[in-house]
Amino acid sequence: MAVHAIGHFFQLFLMAIGLRRFGAIRALTRIDLVPAWGPRLLRILTFYVPRRRRLPENDGERLAMALANMGPAYIKLGQTLATRPDLVGRPIAEGLTTLQDRLPPFEFKKARATLEEQLGHTINELFSEFDETPVAAASIAQVHKATLKNGTKVAVKILRPDIETRFTRDLSLFEWLAGLGERHSAEARRLRLVQVVAKIRETVLCEMDLRLEAAAAAELADNMTGEPGYRLPSIEWDMTARRVMTLEWVDGIRVADQAALEKAGHDLEALGSRIVQVFLKQALRDGFFHADLHQGNLIVEPSGTVVAVDFGIMGRLTKLERRFLAEILFGFIRRDYDRVADVHFDAGYVPRSESHEEFAQAMRAIADPIMDLPVEEISAGKLLAQLFATTERFNMRTQPQLLLLQRTMVMAEGMALHLHPRSNMWQISEPVIEHWVRSNLSPEVQLADAINQLPRLIERLPSRIERWLAEEDNPAPESDLVPQHAPRSAGLLPFAFGLVVGAVLLKILAL
């Protein structure tokens, strides 16, 4: 344990040097969670380190530059913190949105060695052409353009050498710091720092097995079958392994290049609307969405079809979470703040001990000023940021499963505004949300769902009762994942009620 602590302190010292070099220590003073003595100590320890010249004035941007210079794990940490204005403050969070997931490429001989070891053949045996200069290099992997023996053009993604070791070392530091924070700070426990780091680890581990990324792309492609103007590249499964993924090469213009898109005659407003609506369909309808929607990961083909690439970061939502999300957004669109409050309390996001009326009032205070702004100034991303900022006031605990969703929604809105500055996230979102609400929350649909679920519920009844009785005899320690205000039998009551209603329905149908 002592050896690990010494190693972590050495890592912290190197981190302090990096922060000093980019003038980013000042950013820490603007984060409430950081004790006042922390930045002072860092300045004392690194007083001899010269700062770089021509640094931006924005503290968040300086912090972003420092994290990017420290390596891949710090880039992922910064991208996560950019979604947490409640944790780091809105100015810092906005500055961190400039953090780019780009690093210098690694040398070709290492890429070649990885590819040949993973696929069991030489490059010349697998490809008729292989460009040694990568077309993209990110924190996890880099991508090369190549041509198969049959003439098919492909993109070959190869993991960085020793990337697993670097991430394991840095993530162990983050976990240690999060654990220290939760042991000594009630605010850190409310913010669930350990679970936030665990979410980063989960995401990164998926990114470092390219077979999982390929499977995610295939699943998303199945979900998006038939979606007009949107598609995914096909996977070359026989040339994909844990550290190498080969997929269809896509020719087109990246969404980042607005001028080229306009010159090619594409309807930029329609493109922005399509990107937002496709994201909402993935999140609400399927509960599985592309969670890395930066402008370099979407390519527009000459036909106008948007092609998504890079599936290392994907998000999932349960059906219940999708329902809460849809109802919250629908409530804001309709300015029904009582409904927004109801959903937050029903989901367990707000403790029952808090005031329903005061929470609804807080939601109105957040939303009404934004809704009354001109179209080009309305921001769903800012509304979500303000919503998260209310968590401390109402003793709300962090929901780690929603972090990716918030980040992706902000990115989707940013892309729509990049393509068309007068884009209105609410107007774009409303038809998708209303369709989902009608299709999933109407009494008829819920009744049909209850009938369809009835046989399965009856089949599982004996095991559920047995498990419930066992829990009554041997109560388990309370989990951080369950809101502390929720009664232990809360999961059984709806289940039992559903059985009673189902029995009545069966009786009626049998008449």
pLDDT of residue 109: 95
pLDDT of residue 489: 33
- Predicted model pTM: 0.72
Cβ-count burial 439-457 (b if 16+ within 10 Å, e if not): ebeeeeeeeeeeeeebeee
| Tokens coding 384 | 């979500």
Residues annotated catalytic, as ranges: 292
DSSP 350: S
* Helices (H), ranges, 287-424: 319-333, 337-347, 356-371, 380-389, 403-419
Q: Check if the beta carbon of residue 316 is closer than 8 Å to that of residue 287.
A: yes
Q: Check if the beta carbon of residue 231 is closer than 8 Å to that of residue 223.
A: no
pLDDT of residue 511: 40
pLDDT of residue 324: 78
Kindly give the confidence (pLDDT) of every residue in the chain, 511 residues in length, as a single tens digit, with 9 standing for 90 and above.
555 677 788 888 888 898 999 999 988 888 877 877 888 888 888 888 888 888 888 888 999 999 988 888 888 788 777 766 667 877 888 788 777 667 789 999 999 999 999 999 999 999 999 999 999 888 889 999 999 999 999 999 999 998 888 888 888 888 888 888 888 777 777 777 888 788 778 777 778 899 999 999 999 999 999 999 999 999 999 999 999 999 999 999 999 888 999 999 999 999 989 998 999 899 888 999 998 887 788 999 999 999 999 888 888 888 878 877 777 777 877 788 888 888 888 877 788 888 889 888 988 887 777 666 654 565 555 565 566 667 667 777 666 556 677 778 777 877 887 788 777 776 787 788 777 777 776 555 555 555 666 666 666 667 667 667 666 656 544 434 334 433 333 333 333 333 333 333 333 334 4
Q: Which of 306, 308, 230, 300 is nearest to 263 (CA)?
A: 300
pLDDT of residue 289: 92
Which residue reads 């009545």 in tokens?
504
* Spatial separation of the C-alpha atoms in residues 16 and 149, rounded to whole Å: 50
Q: What is the Cα 334 distance to its own chain's centre?
A: 26
Angle formed at CA 423 by CA 339 and CA 365, multiple of 5 degrees: 35
pLDDT of residue 443: 57
Residue 252 parent element (H or E) = none
DSSP 185: -
pLDDT of residue 117: 96
